Amino acid sequence: MIYAVWVPLLMPFVAVPAARRLADALAPLRAVRLLASTAVGLALCSTLALVLLVVPGATQLSAVAAVGELVKPLAAAPAAVTVPLALAALALLSGCTAAVVRTARRHWVELQRARQSAECSGGELAVLRDSRPDAYALPALPGSPGRIVVTTGMLRALDPAERDALLAHERAHLAGRHHLFLAAAELAALCHPALRSLRAPMGYALERCADEAAAVAVGDRRVAARAIGRAALAARAAEGVRARPRVALAAAAGPVPRRVAALLGRATHRPGVGRAAAAALLACLILSGAAALEATNDLHSSIEVAQGEVPQR
C-alpha cells in the first residue's frame, strides 16, 4: 500500500482556504482560470485516487484476477485492508459518477430550453414585465446566440448609462461563456466535498470579470459600480417583508459590496496575498497530480509483479 494515493484525496482540504483569498487578490480573469484549473485538476486527481483504491481489492475476486492475468495476489496489502477500502472507494466513486451525470444532464436540459427560447427571435434582449428587479444571461449552445433577460423592474431602477452597464455586464457573461466555468466548478464540487467551497469564489471572480468588461464598455468605472449597487438595493427593496431570513456570516462583506468597492477602487489591495494564494494553489495542484501519478505507477508495477512478468524485488 502506497501513501501517495491519499494525497489527492486530502489535498482539496488544503487548497480551498487558499482559493478563498484568491478571488479578491488576483485580477478577475486570472482568478477564474486558476480556480477552474484547480477545481477540475483536484477533482480529476481525487477521482483517480478512488479508482486506484478500488483496484487492489477488486483483484481479490478471481474473475478480476483472471482478466488481469494475475498469477499471484497483489502484494500491495492484506485482503482484510484492501477489500473494505475498495468497497468504500467504489461506493464513493459510483455516488460521484451518478451525481455528475445527473447534474450534467440537468444543465444540458436547461441549456436546451434556453436554445428554444433563443431560436424564435433575433434580438439579444428579452424583457419581462415584472416589477421585481432581476437580470441574468441565458447562455446558449453552439450555433445559437445567448440572450440577456431583464425585468422591467430592473430597467426602471437604473438610469440610461447604468442600463448600458448592465447590458455590457451580461454581454460579457455570454461572450466569455462564463456558464461553462460555473458548470465546471459545480461538477468538480460533486467529485470531492471540499471543492464545494470553490463555487462561491468562482462565481464572484466571474462577476468581477463581467463588471470590469462593463466598466470598459461604458467608459466609467463609477457608472458600473452604481449600476450594481442600485440594482442590488432595488432588488432588496422589492423583496421587502418577504425577505428570507438568511444564515449570514456577518464577518465578511457579501459579494455585491465587494464588487462595488473593487470598481470604485476602495478595495484593499494586497497583491502579495494574491501571489501567495496562487502559488499555494498551484503547489497543491502539482503535488496532487504527482502523487496520483506516483500511486498509479506503483499500482502498475505491483500488478506486473503479480502477473509474474517482473521478479519480485
> Does 123 contact another protein by CB under 8 A?
yes
Alpha-carbon distances, residue 153 vs 159, 169, 172, 205, 227 (angstroms): 12, 17, 22, 26, 13
Centre a 10 Å sphere on the Cβ of residue 215 and count the other Cβ atoms it contains: 21
β-strand pairing of 135-138 with 125-128: unpaired
Scanning 68-76, 102-110, 275-283, 305-313 for contacts with another protein by CB under 8 A, the matching segment is 102-110
CA atoms within 13 A on the CB side of 300: 6
Chosen residue from 66, 80, 120, 241 binding another protein by CB under 8 A:
120
Least distance (Å) between residue 110 CB and another protein: 5
Instruction: Dihedral sign for Cα 235, 239, 241, 246, please.
Output: negative
Alpha-carbon distances, residue 33 vs 101, 129, 184, 221 (angstroms): 24, 36, 11, 23
What are the phi and psi torsion angles at 127 (to 5°)?
Answer: -105, 135
- Contacts of another protein in 47-86 (CB under 8 A): none
Chosen residue from 105, 156, 177, 275 binding another protein by CB under 8 A:
156
- Contacts of another protein in 164-203 (CB under 8 A): 164-167, 169-171, 173, 178-179, 182-183, 186, 199, 203
AA letter at 131: S
What cell does 10 get? 486530502
Chosen residue from 39, 100, 148, 205 binding another protein by CB under 8 A:
148
Size of the site for another protein (CB under 8 A): 85
Least distance (Å) between residue 277 CB and another protein: 23
Scanning 41-49, 77-85, 142-150, 290-298 for contacts with another protein by CB under 8 A, the matching segment is 142-150
> Does 212 contact another protein by CB under 8 A?
no
- Contacts of another protein in 13-32 (CB under 8 A): none
Chosen residue from 39, 58, 96, 111 binding another protein by CB under 8 A:
111
- Contacts of another protein in 255-284 (CB under 8 A): 255-257, 260-261, 264, 266
Least distance (Å) between residue 242 CB and another protein: 12
Geometric angle at alpha carbon 234, from 231 and 238, rounded to 5°: 140
Q: Which is nearer to another protein, 54 or 235 (CB)?
A: 235
Residues 303, 309: Cα–Cα separation, whole Å: 9
Least distance (Å) between residue 225 CB and another protein: 7
DSSP 3-state of 166: helix
Chosen residue from 64, 125, 141, 175 binding another protein by CB under 8 A:
125
Scanning 84-92, 118-126, 289-297, 302-310 for contacts with another protein by CB under 8 A, the matching segment is 118-126
Q: Which is nearer to another protein, 266 or 270 (CB)?
A: 266
Q: Which of 121, 153, 155 is nearest to 138 (CA)?
A: 121
Alpha-carbon distances, residue 113 vs 81, 140, 199 (angstroms): 48, 9, 24
Least distance (Å) between residue 159 CB and another protein: 7
Least distance (Å) between residue 143 CB and another protein: 16
Instruction: Dihedral sign for Cα 186, 36, 295, 66, please.
Output: positive
Q: Which is nearer to another protein, 80 or 241 (CB)?
A: 241
> Does 152 contact another protein by CB under 8 A?
yes
- By the 8 A CB rule, do 125 and 136 touch? no
